[in-house]
Structure 1
């Protein structure tokens, strides 16, 4: 992970910083005199005293009051000194306790790391739980982050693949299963701790999580987790099995990256997740065997990028998602055999970009989607096979642009679309093959469509009866 951020240590975390006694006492006396003077003059004003009676003789009562005042001043000074000394002692004790806790944490950390490097899978498993417990009990965020980093580093270590369960490799197979259990335990503990609300015991939310290049071949749940003020990296990770759940998770700040990750099996779920201020990247990711679900996702801020992403096989669904702010980019994405589903999705603000995307086989659907604001751009996209469907879609605001797009195969369908407001643009579109279907569409003709039809060299463009194709 690049540009990692760490919690900034406070002075108490590393060293004790106290003023010298003389300086501390001087400042304490000055502060006491200023406060006492303020209180005295405040009372004089409050009680409306205008002058003080004077006398030439010092009687016994006045002398006794002066003696009491003198002792009171001395006692107050002594109390002030005691207070300063007590404060310094308390601070020394606190820092000493912190140092002792840090020393004990370091000893336990060394023992846990030794266990994690053991040849015995059972001992390694004990080291995993010991490190997780140390992270829970860490006296400061830096030490907690160190424990998390060690667990992540273990997952990043290369491991021998399964040799098979035949008789000749039974021992190696059993060892593989045992070590896989260690890795799966770490992943389960990570998910458990990141699901706990921030600020509660055993919560790791707010800490960086580096799973760069890790193979995730088991169930992993971040359901309901909040990712804010941290860096989370799945860059280059491989999701090959199990169910990975980010259902109802919140991405509110910080950065989360799936850059060049490979989704080759299992399911990855973002149902009900909220992207409201973070930077999320799927750039260069490959979806070639997993099922991705973004149902009911809300994009209300920040940015989500799918630049140079490849969708092949299986499906990605954004059903009933809400794009109400921020930018979501599928630029340079390649859809080459998968089903990507935006059915019932609402686009009300922000920008969703398919610039330079390639649609080759597979199916991308926007059935009954609503474009009521914002922009959805297919600029310079290539439709070379498969089907892109906008059936029963409502265009009542915002912008849907196909500028410089190329239709050479497959089908793009706007059947029963309602073009009642906003702008749908087909400027400089090349219709050299495939089919574009507007059958039963209602409303205004999309800008530039008739010009594109008039210059079409091949393919089929089906228009409703109210939209007349230009005569050749």
Structure 2
């Protein structure tokens, strides 16, 4: 973890030379400087022969006396300056020690309040620690206050007792005393949950304040590992230019974590191993010019993660090894001019990932080695003018991948060595004026790959060495006015509608197996 390095106590200690050494060195420096000036003047004014004269006249003697007094005065001023500087440093060090002492006293009192059995007192401790972080004499003390607040969120807590059964399992109704006790337990749960929600709200409020201004926590580390989030945290408009925000192993059972309009130019935000069973994470219109956001090994059984309208010019967003059994991940309208988004090794048994209307002018999106047994991935109306989308070695036993009405003018989409034992890949009404789509060495034992009504005016679609044992690849209604299409070394029947689409005679850029070509009378 790239945490900010902590300075030790010695880093904050006052480092000054002994006064005798400081004054002696300062006086010696003054004498040397004066001597150097005097010698330079002698050289410049050509006074080298002054020692050869029989005697000094009154004017020369007076000038030497003035020079001597000037040297002494300058040395005295320098000594006074050194003494004043030392006094200022000592005063500053004393003020820092006093501020640190007061901070430590207030910190101890605030932490004691967090351990109180009263929810109201704990709330007071939360606000006291937040205030201490705002007024901390240095960044290390601020980070300590934030660490304590995050640690409180990581502490185990009693679950929601829910509603009291009536009637009870034995068929009787609960007594009044039991009802009161259950209600008190429920009220206590909600009171302590309010403490946690207040901490989350304060973290979001402070992280949205621009870095470098009073009360800003930007650049500080937030360790929310294994925290349960059942309320909202708002990081909208925040700038992540350093530090680490960690949600590893966290459980999102409700509420929303919002990064709308945030800028990721450095630092790390991680959701590795997190569980999304409710609530949502929103990164609408976020800007990624650096930094990394990772969801490696996360589980999505519900919830949604939204990158709609986000801009990727650099940085990394990864969902490596994530499991999607429900929920949604949306990149609709996002712009990719650089950076990388990867779903390598992810498992899709449900849910959806959408890039509808996204623009790819650079960067890469990869699903290499992913497994699709359900769910959907959609690139409807996306524009590819550069960059790479890769499904290399992916496994499709269900679900769908859709490129309907997508526009390919450059870049590449590859399904090399992918296996289709089910599922569908649809390029219906897509336009190929450049770019390449590669199914080389792919295996089709079931499922459908459709280029219905697609238009090919340039670019390349390649099925070289693909194996068709079942399923179908269809080109019904497709139009070929240019570009290249290759089916060399394939096995299996001719794709549906392909011969009608390429027409007769077959274009030189369309390379078919010899046994597929229409017989010449």
SS of the residue corresponding to residue 312 of structure 1 reads: strand
C-alpha deviation, 1:318, in angstroms: 0.3
Pairing 1:255-294 to 2, within 5 Å after superposition: 255-294=268-307
Distance 1:36 1:297, change over 3 A: farther
Structure 2 CA distance for aligned equivalents of residues 161 and 169 of structure 1: 13
Match of 1:150 in 2: 148
Residue 428, structure 1, aligned to residue 437, structure 2: no
TM-align CA RMSD: 2.3
Task: Tell me the secondary structure at the aligned position of residue 147 of structure 1.
Answer: helix
User: Which runs of structure 2 are paired with 1:171-320 in the superposition (5 Å)?
Assistant: 171-320=184-333
Give distance in 1, aligned partners of 2:432 and 2:136. 59
Is the CA contact (8 Å cut-off) linking 2:34 and 2:71 kept in structure 1?
A: no
1:36-81 per-residue CA deviation (whole Å, 9 max, x = no partner) reads 4666677789xx7344784544555555554444444333322222
Structure-2 separation of matches of 1:125 and 1:101: 24
Alpha-carbon distance change, 271 to 38 in structure 1, aligned in 2, over 3 angstroms: farther
Q: Which of 418, 437, 460 is equivalent to 2:472?
A: 460
SS at match of 2:156: coil
Give the distance between the partners of 1:10 and 1:63, measured in 2 at CA: 58
* Counterparts of 1:311 and 1:37, CA distance in 2: 81
- 8 Å contact 2:441–2:463 — kept in the other structure? no
Structure 1: 5+ residue runs without aligned partners?
none
Structure 2 runs not aligned, ≥5 long: 165-178, 481-497, 500-511, 517-521
CA distance in 1, matches of 2:261, 2:293: 16
1:49 aligns with 2:45: yes
Trace 1:350-429 onto structure 2 (pairs within 5 A): 350-429=363-442
2:343·2:368 contact (CA, 8 Å) conserved in 1? Answer: yes
The TM-score, its normalising length taken from structure 1, stands at: 0.92
Equivalenced residue count is 466
Q: Per-residue CA shift, 1:7-52, capped at 9, x if unaligned?
A: 453888521111122332243234434554666677789xx73447
1 CA distance for matches of 2:339 and 2:305?
21
More strand by share: 2
- Distance across 1 between alignment mates of 2:63 and 2:415: 95
Q: Deviations over 1:363-402 (max 9, x none)?
A: 2110111122121110111122222110111121112110
Match of 1:5 among 3, 6, 11: 3
Deviation per CA, 1:400-443: give whole Å up to 9, x if none: 11011111223210001112222211011111111111001111
Work out the CA distance in 2 between the residues paired with 1:101 and 1:174. 40
Evaluate the alpha carbon distance shift between residue 182 and residue 53 of structure 1 in structure 2; reply closer, same or farther with a 3 A threshold.
Answer: same
**1:141 corresponds to:** 139
Q: Distance in 2 between matches of 1:328 and 1:43?
A: 70
TM-score (norm 2): 0.84
Equivalence for 2:519? none
CA contact (8 A) 1:11 1:17 kept: no
- Equivalent positions of 1:18-167 (< 5 A) are 18-33=16-31, 35-36=33-34, 49-51=45-47, 54=50, 56-58=54-56, 62-166=60-164, 167=179
CA contact (8 A) 1:381 1:406 kept: yes
**Aligned residues of 1:6 and 1:142 also touching (Cα < 8 A):** no
Alignment partners' CA distance in 2, 1:255 and 1:263: 20
Q: 8 Å contact 1:384–1:409 — kept in the other structure?
A: yes
Residues 281 and 304, structure 1, Cα contact 8 Å, conserved in 2? yes
Q: Given the superposition, is the C-alpha separation of residues 310 and 44 from structure 1 closer, same or farther in structure 2, using an over 3 Å criterion?
A: farther
Q: Does the CA-based 8 Å contact 1:367-1:392 persist in structure 2?
A: yes
Q: Which residues in structure 2 correspond to 1:326-345 (within 5 Å)?
A: 326-345=339-358
How has the CA–CA distance of structure 1 residues 282 and 76 changed in structure 2, closer, same or farther, with 3 Å as cutoff?
A: same
Q: Which moved more, 1:326-335 or 1:103-112?
A: 326-335
Change (3 A) 1:297 1:116: same
Q: SS at 2:405's partner residue? A: coil
Cα distance in 2, alignment partners of residues 29 and 410 from structure 1 = 87
Deviation at 1:326, TM superposition (A): 2.1
Larger Rg: 2
- For residue 85 of structure 1, give the secondary structure of its aligned residue in structure 2: helix
Distance 1:445 1:84 in 2: 75
Contact 1:163 1:172 in 2 (8 A): yes
Structure 1 CA distance, aligned partners of 2:36 and 2:392?
72
How big is the shift at 1:214?
0.6
Over 3 Å counting, the alpha-carbon distance change for 1:117 and 1:8 in structure 2 is closer
Does residue 1:437 correspond to 2:450, yes or no? yes
